[in-house]
Amino acid sequence: MKTYSAQAQERFSAFFMLFPTFFVIISFYFYPALYNLELSFTDMEFTQLRTGGDWVGFENYIEFFTSNDSFNVAFNTVFWLTAVSVTLRLFLGLLFALLLNSKMLSSLKLSTLSRLFLLVPWATPPVVSVIAWRWMLEPIGGPVNEFLLYTGIISEAISFTADLATVWPTIVTIMVWNTTPLVAVSLLASLQTIPDDQIEAASLDGATRWQQFRFVTLPYLMPTLSVLCLMSIIWTFNNFIYVWLTTLAGPGTYTNVMATEVYMKAFVDLRLGYSSAVGVSMAIILAAFGALYFRVVGLSRMQDKVG
């Protein structure tokens, strides 16, 4: 049995070895975060970088949450950018994973080729994905419009990134196309860890395909789905690239989200203090969601263990 002095020495050694990592994290994360929090309580502008801004308290936060555009920004961020795209990503990723793991593709010797094709969107950088999709969706000369006009599905070209009826579905489509393979590959790895004897036992007991999926496959996938759901929401809620490169938050400010609001207030309107307040609000919302999410997941797992 280790003495108290030996345990203390081990703890000191562990702390000494981890200290450089802690120092880097504090230097590159906590200090900028605290500085951003300080800026959010000032009226700092780019013209005041040397002198600093004046203290305004919660004025920036009040302005953001009471402005006429705040509801539109919040709705776009929560509903279109996050809820719709993450739901589609998880649903399609699960379908692709089940398809790639099916015996049908194995019998046709298409498993390897299918997985290779699935990885192509994931391997494509988001910037390249947006540029390629914008070219395909061009109203004049774009392959998508040319095909729809040729087949008679539409009578005139559609400006997918400028029409209010199609702009958000377009952004969501680009995001889902580029990010679904990661979900599919992760779920495919989890599917391949399920013991075959459990599936066979359920089949012998007379379980249908749906019952096998509901009571055998899905419980094995839930830990992976939980992590993917949380990470997807965090990545998507903070995302800037897809909206900005596709529409520049337009038409007008129709597709403006919190990430693009931070950018425009800081680098277009030059209001660093207000931009910092929006950024801090995003961090608080995500922190609250993460705490709630882990609380719900933790309770469900405790109930499963008790059951």
H helical segments located in the chain: 4-25, 31-39, 59-66, 70-75, 85-100, 103-107, 111-123, 126-136, 143-151, 167-191, 196-204, 209-212, 218-237, 241-247, 258-267, 272-306
Instruction: Answer whether residue 26 is part of any domain.
Output: no
What is the predicted pLDDT for the residue at 302?
52
Instruction: Answer whether residue 282 is part of any domain.
Output: no
170: nearest Cα among 133, 115, 141, 144: 133
Q: Give tens-digit pLDDT for 225-249.
A: 988 988 899 889 989 999 999 999 9
Instruction: Answer whether residue 241 is part of any domain.
Output: yes
Instruction: Answer whether residue 57 is part of any domain.
Output: no
Instruction: Answer whether residue 255 is part of any domain.
Output: yes
Instruction: Answer whether residue 49 is part of any domain.
Output: no
Res 306 pLDDT > 50: no
Please state, in angstroms and rounded to a whole number, the distance separating the CA atoms of residues 23 and 66: 39
Q: Give tens-digit pLDDT for 175-227.
A: 999 999 999 999 998 888 888 788 788 787 777 888 888 888 888 888 889 88
Instruction: Answer whether residue 176 is part of any domain.
Output: yes
Range of the domain at 219: 71-259
Mean pLDDT of 243-270: 92
**DSSP code for 30:** I
Instruction: Answer whether residue 211 is part of any domain.
Output: yes
Tokens of 181: 């393979």
Considering the entire predicted model, what is its pTM?
0.86
Please state, in angstroms and rounded to a whole number, the distance separating the CA atoms of residues 89 and 116: 19
What is the predicted pLDDT for the residue at 207?
77
CA 32 to the chain's CA centroid? 23
Mean pLDDT of 139-151: 91
Number of domains in the chain: 1
Q: What is the CATH number of the domain that holds 95?
A: 1.10.3720.10
